[in-house]
Amino acid sequence: MQKPNILVIMADQLAPQFTGAYGHPVAKTPHLDALAARGMRFDAAYCNSPLCAPSRFSFMSGQRISRIAAYDNASEFRASVPTFAHYLKALGYRTCLSGKMHFVGPDQMHGFEDRVTTDIYPSDFAWTPNWEAPGQRIDKWYHNMQTVKESGVAQATFQIDYDDEVGFAARRWLFNVARDKAQGATAPFAMVASFIHPHDPYVARPEWWDLYADEDIDLPEFVPPLEDLDPFARRVMDGIEASTVPLTEEEVRCARRAYLANVSYFDSKIGELVRTLDEIGELDNTIIVVTSDHGDMLGERGLWYKMTFFEHSARVPLVMAGPGVATGVAENAVSLVDLLPTFLEIGGGDASMVGDPIDGRSLMPLARGEADPVDEAIAEYCAEMADHPVFMIRRGTLKYIHCDSDPAQLYDLSADPNEHVNLAADPAYAEIAEAFAAEVARLWDSAALRDDIIATQRSRHALHAAMEAGASEPWDYNPPSDASQQYVRNHMDWTVAAARYRYPPVPDEGA
């Protein structure tokens, strides 16, 4: 039996609430909607840390960030951590990464056989926060409200350039797979095509901006007064300067319109890749997974970007379609660490090949429409705007958030989907809150974790200073390219080259 291919199409900072597939009234995402209509939509999918690099390292490794010390955007992703790319390669897959994965450290492959683009962000320790000076901003890298104020339309940005390259490189690699298959290759493929949109800055090309009108753009549903925010949310607001730099209604609407425009742009990339699968004859044998590394608050609660465990920040879209995947909606809580064991099951692997303990479970039972007794997602935040670890447990319809320095938070998402009312101090929920608090104490040694985070920050600050002084070659990935072997060259027979590149190949008349 032929193993199915796997294609993961990943967005950056895409909140599912802003897609048509998840019910937004004006979002134009026809390609994601089509996949959801013929596959499984997961309605309670979460990242394991609401920040780019930690979330992606959890996604790749199937492990929580505290297990692999993936605390922030400048944490090294150690080469010794096995990833699903390693396991799938061991299972006979041809593997490729096109686009962003925010790998930090000298290993820029992490099990991928091919990597066809560079990354969009630096791969060193420049973004290391400092919990010993928690109010200090890294102004070169930290978000602020100027990004929101500059939202609008442009013909080109560095993000548009990047995503156009990611899409082209991914499609070319898929055609090369098809060309090799026409020559007799039989290996299935596993590709991650990872785009930067709709991540801020909220700037869109005119054709996507013009899909929307100002009067159709809804404003944030819930913006409480500053004094009513929980302490962690207030620290994030202060850190991104949202508490001191006011935004006009017009600026908020403009940013949300540009965000929706870029959601549609990302959706167009889904469409291009699905069409390519069809063109190479692999659509019916490919399981497609669309997801994101985290969401975007986009003004909800007065917050922007990510870095909190509120729904717009911590939830991600997760849509699966392809052979063996049923049509429907899965309501169980799941998270990105569940994708590694999912891919192992798809590829015919099992727990015996797992090198490190993993924190997820396979989602294939849910994808097949079967019952799953597990209804849980666990996440951690250990990066900027904090000075103590923050933990989240989503179980059933309840979400519990804990930080040693802050009051606990408890929300019943079935009755309060927008998290207006913190139930942690409600006498009616006292027993539940106490049980969650006890569970947090069992799962984590928060004080020891904080000590380790600070220790890694100190070492990384020292190493970054040395690297800035020239102690190391840059780790930024440079895709290999040998022009002497591309297209048609003097040492080639051009008719052979033309036949190699043509797909589908010309039929062999003698066959």
pLDDT in tens, 294-319: 999 999 999 999 999 999 999 999 99
Give kind and range of the element (H or E) at residue 179. Answer: helix 158-182
**Per-residue pLDDT, 348:** 97
Residue 406 covered by a domain: no
Q: What is the DSSP string of 40-108?
A: EEEEEEE-SSSSHHHHHHHHHHTS-HHHHT--STT----TTS--HHHHHHHTT-EEEEEE-----SS--
Q: Is residue 145 part of a domain?
A: no
In eight-state DSSP terms, residue 4 is P
Q: What is the CATH number of the domain that holds 331?
A: 3.40.720.10
What string of H, E and C letters represents the secondary structure of 290-307? EEECCCCCCCHHHCCCCC
Say how many domains are in the chain. 1
The verdict on residue 256 lying in a domain is no
| The pLDDT of residue 285 | 98
Residue 403 counted as domain residue: no
Report the DSSP pairing between strands 328-335 and 40-46: parallel
Give the pLDDT score at 256. Answer: 98
Write down the pLDDT at residue 511: 52
Indicate the pTM of the whole model: 0.97
Residue 280 belongs to a domain: yes
Q: Active-site positions?
A: 52, 102
Which two tokens mark 66? Answer: 């505290």
Looking at residue 1, its pLDDT comes to: 67
Q: Look at residue 243 in the predicted model and tell me its pLDDT.
A: 92
Nearest Cα to 232, choosing from 130, 303, 312? Answer: 303
Assigned domain for 158 exists: yes
Predicted pLDDT of residue 352:
92
Task: Let me know how many helices (H) and strands (E) the chain has, helices first.
Answer: 15, 14
Radius of gyration of the chain (CA): 23
Q: 495 lies in which domain range?
A: 5-131+152-196+268-368+470-501
Residue 384 lies in a domain: no
| 75: nearest Cα among 134, 125, 130, 119 | 125
Given this model, what pLDDT does residue 300 score?
A: 97
Would you say residue 140 lies in a domain?
no
Strand partners, 226: none
In whole angstroms, give the CA distance from residue 211 to residue 156: 17
Angle at 120 between CA 45 and CA 4, to 5 degrees: 50
User: In the chain, which residues have pLDDT < 70?
Assistant: 1, 139-141, 509-511
How far is it, in rounded angstroms, from Cα 476 to Cα 31? 32
